[in-house]
Amino acid sequence: MFGDNQEQNVGTGAVAVQAGNDVHITQNGLSYSEVRDVALDVFRANFFQLAGPAMETAKARAEEITEDFLKKLQQENPDGFGKGQDPDFQHALFTVQREYARNGDKDLGDLLIDLLVDRSKQEQRDIVQIVLNESLSTAPKLTDSHLAVLAIIFLFGYTQNQGVGNHAMLGEYFDKYVLPFSTKLIKNPACYQHLQFTGCGTPRMNTITIEGILDSTYPGLFLKGFDQSEFENKQISIGLDINLFMTCLNDSEKIQVRANNLEMLDERFKANGINEDDQVKIRELFQTGKMSHDEIREKCVSIRPYMAPVFEIWTESQMKSFSLTSVGMAIGHANIKRLTGEFASLSIWIN
């Protein structure tokens, strides 16, 4: 269309492109090395100047945390490299660099990286993005004990694992999600005052125990069961259907309903087409022979002895009456994810 004349005049900073056919230009955002350069430029431009070796240490830490972040970003959210051009994300990244440069705490660094990777997944300015930005500034104000408290309160107070179907699984659940924090929990009132000061939580009037939470969340694990005569008295038309009944977990001589909680039981009713009359009778059996809270605690401690001080600290501290804010939940969530490697999306709790 334009003939053979391909003479071009190119302005300063422009790029000349020539081809015999159609030209397609694709912009894929910044590369790994480009994001790294941008991140370090932002740090150098904004971090206050320290004297001598202190400045060299700060620079080395900033480079370390930047590299660690980019590696994790490449693994979990490579599309996040495009965020390197976003001013708000640059500010979040600088917050991470600045805080790690100041103290060099590896655990804190890993926590900040998890929060920042989650931040990179937010495509628009919403509540999750705002909470994660605030969490990046708040987490460095907390000690390991503060972080452990947030993780345990978040775990028991705000989550439920439908995969915990027996005592062996409960023990594995404790090992993965409770054990890493169990030795760092403290009763000191100053701990909870500081968490309130930093905006991570607030005291509430009512109290709740771990035993009560387990009783509400996983009641099927803590049933004493019923015997054959009790079942026969109900005159349930489907009989001892294995989809609805099983040997009692806590007494092999008895029977219990095959469900972790009422929600799961309702799902089994739907899946197996159970009539309304039988549903009522089976729900009544599900409520039969429930363990007391003291017995639930004893059972958990028998499964994992290290749970004894966890129950004790929860009961004797403000953990039993402490509600988390969105920032407290985000930090607790990130702290669990940091040590377990995986966890459900934060947007489940904050949306």
Higher pLDDT, 315 or 77: 315
- pLDDT at position 30: 62
Instruction: Kindly state whether residues 285 and 298 are assigned to the same domain.
Output: no
Instruction: Kindly state whether residues 202 and 105 are assigned to the same domain.
Output: no
Residue ranges making up the domain that contains 279: 223-290
State the average pLDDT over residues 288-292.
Answer: 93
State the average pLDDT over residues 41-55.
Answer: 67
**Among 246, 274, 290, where does a domain finish?**
290
* Domain contains 25: no
- pLDDT at position 27: 35
* Domain contains 251: yes
Instruction: Kindly state whether residues 108 and 71 are assigned to the same domain.
Output: yes
Q: What percent of the chain has pLDDT over 90?
A: 62
Q: What percent of the chain has pLDDT over 70?
A: 87
pLDDT higher than 70, residue 3: no
* Domain contains 18: no
Which segment of 45-54, 84-93, 224-233, 249-258 scores lowest on mean pLDDT?
A: 45-54
Instruction: Kindly state whether residues 37 and 59 are assigned to the same domain.
Output: yes
- pLDDT at position 238: 93
Instruction: Kindly state whether residues 262 and 211 are assigned to the same domain.
Output: no
- pLDDT at position 347: 84
What is the distance between the alpha carbons of residues 315 and 209, in angstroms, rounded to a whole number? 7
Mean pLDDT, the chain, whole residue set:
86
Instruction: Kindly state whether residues 204 and 190 are assigned to the same domain.
Output: yes
* Domain contains 261: yes
Instruction: Kindly state whether residues 174 and 312 are assigned to the same domain.
Output: yes
* Domain contains 176: yes
Instruction: Kindly state whether residues 198 and 322 are assigned to the same domain.
Output: yes
pLDDT higher than 90, residue 279: yes
Instruction: Kindly state whether residues 111 and 243 are assigned to the same domain.
Output: no
